Amino acid sequence: MSLLSRMTAPTARHDVAQLVAALLAEQPRPRAVPTGPTGLGTSAARVTPRREPSSDGVPELYCPPALRDDPALGREVNDRLVDWAGEVGIYEGRLDHVRAADFGRLMMLAHPDSDDPDRLLAAGKCALAEWATDDYYCDDGADPEQLGSHLARRTRRSTRPTSPSATRPRGRRRCARTPSASPCARRWSTSPGTPEPSQLARLRHEVAVLFVAYGQEGSWRSRGHMPTVPEYLAHRQINSFLPCIALADAVGGYALTAAEYGDPRVRRAVTMAATAATLVNDLYSMTKEHGTSGVEFNLPTVIADRERCSPREGIERSAEVHDELVRTYEVEAAALALTGSPQLRRFLAGVWAWLGGNRAWHSGSPRYNSA
């Protein structure tokens, strides 16, 4: 089944199908006139109906649905990913939790234009390595004083193809417990469907930016600092799913040029989408983070604390911010698709698809729904 036919399948809600069809068609058309003021920071000026929470407590979000569900493919990717985690030694003693979280399913849902388990697995390895770095070195319980050295070691491994002999450890050293994403990228570069050097460089860049954000979170944790809402939102622009989303073309088997990916208008739109995807994580992971000993970092908690409102209002306002980001992406991506290359159109549609797969996975994964 082609991506286009999947995207126009009857499962699509609201105007998703129209948008993605427009993004992918030869002569895309922009969305209809917006129904209210648009642009970041204008959501407060719109009157919106109160959101009814679904059974998981998360309000209905403006987000596309997952554009395919292939459980067998998801299972295959997940099984191989858990085997890999066991081989490299991450999540020792917790592999059952990793299996149950079903990151393979996330890859299958978020990359509907690839049926290739090898490519989905490669993307899954990158995501799991990024998650492991967060879980081991950043999240509650980790030692923030060690964070900088852990991240520096992992960054060095990813940016230097071979170590000069002076820096090579003597004897055989135990493999680090948590791989960085970029060694995954190196392994990927020897597998079928090799990405372009510019795609690998892009991944390295996005992971390095992610690590800077991990450092910021560590500095907040060590001081017990609760960020302001703008501070937190700026942080979530870089502590985001962008390293995963940036692989959309490599997983799909085509290449967006560095020039188009680096176009500030493309970066702005894609960064907004990645931030929105990460706010979905904030909304679904709140429960998991409740009861941890340090400061809780998720948008609903930051809003409730800083704006002195109820937790429920924090959730609702977070959902508003999410929706505003997605709507802005929708409008800007459609406009970019009008003048961009076919690869850019496909990439923007891939980002849109990623949003749908991400939300569907969060709403079902036991990582967030086990209580």
- Alpha helices, DSSP H, located in the chain: 3-7, 16-24, 71-88, 95-101, 103-110, 117-137, 144-159, 181-188, 197-223, 229-238, 242-245, 248-252, 258-262, 264-289, 299-306, 311-339, 342-364, 366-369
Rounded to a whole number of angstroms, the minimum distance from the CB of residue 281 to ligand LYHC5SXD is 4
Distance of closest approach, residue 289 Cβ to ligand LYHC5SXD, in angstroms:
7
Residue whose CB is less far from ligand LYHC5SXD, 116 or 134: 134
For ligand LYHC5SXD, the closer of residues 352 and 354 by Cβ is 354
Least distance from ligand LYHC5SXD to the Cβ atom of residue 164, Å: 30
Question: How many C-beta atoms lie closer than 10 Å to residue 227's C-beta?
Answer: 19
Contact 296, 222 (CB under 8 A): no
Of 14 and 267, which CB lies nearer to ligand LYHC5SXD in the complex structure? 267
Residue 27, φ and ψ in degrees, nearest 5: -120, 80
Instruction: Provide the minimum distance between the beta carbon of 330 and ligand LYHC5SXD in the complex, in angstroms, as a whole number.
Output: 21
Select the residue whose beta carbon is closest to ligand LYHC5SXD and give its number. 285
Write out the two tokens for 107.
């890859």
CB of 82 to ligand LYHC5SXD, least distance (A): 16
In angstroms, give the least distance from the CB of 138 to ligand LYHC5SXD. Answer: 7
- Whose Cβ is closer to ligand LYHC5SXD: residue 62's or residue 131's? 131
Buried b (16+ CB within 10 A) or exposed e, 44-66: eeeeeeeeeeeeeebbebbbbbb
Kindly list the residues in this chain that would bind ligand LYHC5SXD in the complex (CB under 6 A): 127, 130-131, 134, 139, 210, 239-241, 243-244, 278, 281, 285
Of 19 and 147, CB closest to ligand LYHC5SXD:
147
In degrees rounded to 5, what are phi and psi of residue 25?
-70, 160
> Which residue, 265 or 288, is less far from ligand LYHC5SXD as judged by CB?
288
> What type of residue is 351?
V
